Structure 1
Amino acid sequence: MLTIGLIFGILVPVLVIVYATARILSAIVRIHYEISTQVHSIGGSGSVVGANSSLTLQSIRSGKNLLLMCGGLLLLTIPGTIYAIAVTLGTENQLPSWFKFGAVWILMCNSSVNSLLYLALFRSVRKKTSEMFAAYYYKLCCFL
């Protein structure tokens, strides 16, 4: 369970951070391309306004929000990572019991959140199925 938590607690946020960074960079390239093509077509002056510009800016905002959210999720995995290293080294008895309980609790809840994030991000399932998984994980976290 701890290994699964570590995999989903670290791997999924890293993948989402890579995806969000690529999304932001591609949006910046699109803005640069739009500005350069519009400036050349106008003759060197004018403002860049249009539907494509607003969609590109929206893409940057959503990518920035994904980066912030996944950065927070990665910070939450630090206690679980420390606990997993302690278990691997055989020194988990030196950790306080509250730390062990908190680390495992955060790791399990973080795995649930990351699973939902994974489903929502790649949209591999329909909206109704995604809502069903969200309700299931919410109940699971409340039960634990």
Structure 2
Amino acid sequence: MARVIVVHERPAWPLRLSAALTLTVVVAIRALPQGRRVRARVALARTARRLPAADAARVRALHGAVAACRLWWWRGQLDCKDRAAATVLATALTGRYCRLVHGARTFPSGFHSWVETVDGTPVGTEEDNGGDHPWTAVHRT
């Protein structure tokens, strides 16, 4: 069972603006057929590879802004894949690069997506008991 993310502080408006823009792109990706969604997320993450690396503080701030931003017109759920892809895109909008990571674990079994910096600092792995039962990266983009 996924844990609900509660963000109590409101991020600064530039972070909220980039989070809202990237969440709009991610919601548009959800309209694609099931088989093309992962390909679209990976393709978007690969477009920013030539940018300089982002530091962990910037990625954490953008991930928090994406988690705090709620599109008023979207009634559906935004899961970990959407938050991770939006964080990668928001980081690219600031002129930096971070990696989109898809992973899994065996007990309790599950799949999860998170973001990590180029030096390997994970951001977003604490969701769904990630601290108690660590995730194993399967694909990094």
With structure 1 as the length reference, what TM-score do the two structures score? Answer: 0.25
Q: Which has the higher helix share?
A: 1
Which structure is richer in relative contact order (CA contacts within 8 A, separation 6 or more)?
1
